[in-house]
A and B are shown apart, each in its own frame.
Chain A
Amino acid sequence: MKGRLVLVAAAVGSLVVAGCSSSSSSSSSSSAAAAGGSSASTKACTTSIGIEAPITGPVAPLGTEQLHFAELAVSMDNAANNTKITLVQGDTQLQPAQAVTVTQQFISNSNIVGVVGPAGSQEVEAIGGPMGRAGMAFISGSATAVALTTGSYPTFFRVVSKDSVQGPQDANYIVKTLHPKALMIVDDQEAYSTGLVSAMVPVFQAAGIKVDHESVSQKVTDFSSLVAKVTPADTVVVLPWQIAANAQQFGRDMAQEHKTAVIFGTDGLFSPGTFSISGSYVSSFGPDITAIPADASIAQAAQAKYGTFGTFGPPVFAATHVIDEAIASVCKAGQTPSRANVLAAIKTTNEPTSILGQPISFDSHGDLVNGKFFLFKITPAGKYQLIPS
Chain B
Amino acid sequence: MESHAVNATYKTKEVGKFKSFFRKCVKQRYLLLMVLPGVVIIFLFNYLPMYGLIIAFKDYNIGKGIMGSPWVGLRWFKTFFSNPMAVRLIRNTFLLGFYYLLWSFPAPIILSILLNEVKSTRFKRIAQNILYLPHFISVVIMIGLLKELCSMDGIFNTIRVALGQERVNFFAKPEYFRSLFIGSGIWQHLGWGTIIYLAALSGIDVEMYEAAYIDGANRWHRIIYITLPALQSTIVTLFILNVGRILSLDYQKVLLMYNPQTYSTADIIGTYTYREGLQNARYSYSAAVGLFMSVISFIFVLITNKLSKITTESSLW
Question: Is the pairing of A and B real?
Answer: no
